[in-house]
Amino acid sequence: MNLGLGILVIYMLVLLGIALYASKRDEKNIKDFATGGGLGIFVLTLTFSATYHSAYAFMGAGGFIYTNGIGWWVNGLWTVLPGVLFWVWGRRIWFLGKKCGYLSVSDYASDVYQSGAVGLLVTAITMIFTVPYVAMQAIGCSYIFTTISGGKLSYTVGAILFFVIMIILVWMGGMKGVAITDAAQGVFMWIGLLGGALWVIKANFPSVSAAYEAAYEAVPQLFTLPGPNGVCTPQD
């Protein structure tokens, strides 16, 4: 077994252990399974962030910056807005859910508009946009599994492995298990990104600023708008 495959196995075992821990702390009812039964501000913040820091962030964003430059960082502006809305409106939605017994957004919409059809519409919209998002995660993880295993895991096996792990995590821990594993992966991600980036930079450059200077000298277009390919225009 190569190093990458060993790390992958350990990583998956850790996630399964966290989900098992979460399942032991859950009350066995639909409310806790669907809502997490109270997560706390730390776990709640990290699982909310995990919505963004997915395959899109650790593969798509990095690839876009590598190809098109710093114009991607404008995304940092709009990623702040959902967090603000979450903290401003989130508690109000939580209060209504607790008061009225809502378990989903469709429950809330059906009650507010007094129409089951509205609830079905919300459910349909959620499913339509969630399926491509989940598929994107499977695609990204499949590429990562294939790469980290040195080609020992094929793309298809990687996709199957992703869905199997996802189903087990949800089945074992429900929403709380997903949230806690999100929080753990968020910590792992930041340690890996910061630690890994600093390790690579220190191995090749005397400092972080020197690394940026070298990158600017090599491809200055990456540090200007609209970028080397003309993608990041004011209209975009």
Would you say residue 235 lies in a domain?
Answer: no
- pLDDT over threshold 80, residue 117: yes
Helix pair angle (116-148, 3-25), 10° resolution: 150
Collapsing DSSP states into helix, strand and coil, what is residue 57?
A: helix
Would you say residue 67 lies in a domain?
Answer: yes
Would you say residue 228 lies in a domain?
Answer: no
Distance, in Å, from the CA atom of 104 to the CA atom of 123, rounded to the nearest integer, reads: 9
- pLDDT over threshold 60, residue 24: yes
pLDDT at 221: 87
Would you say residue 234 lies in a domain?
Answer: no
Residue 219 in tokens: 């491809």
- pLDDT over threshold 80, residue 52: no
Closest CA to 165 of 61, 5, 19, 6: 19
* pLDDT tens figures, 199-215: 989 899 998 889 989 98
Amino acid at 53: H
pLDDT confidence band for 121 (50 / 70 / 90) = very high
Would you say residue 124 lies in a domain?
Answer: yes
Would you say residue 7 lies in a domain?
Answer: yes
Boundaries of domain holding 53? 3-222
Residue 181 in tokens: 């594993």
pLDDT at 127: 85
Q: pTM of this prediction? A: 0.67
Highest mean pLDDT among 1-10, 81-90, 130-139: 130-139
Would you say residue 236 lies in a domain?
Answer: no
Would you say residue 233 lies in a domain?
Answer: no
* Side-chain half-sphere CA neighbours of 181 within 13 A: 25
User: Percentage of the chain with pLDDT > 90?
Assistant: 3
Q: How many domains does the chain have?
A: 1
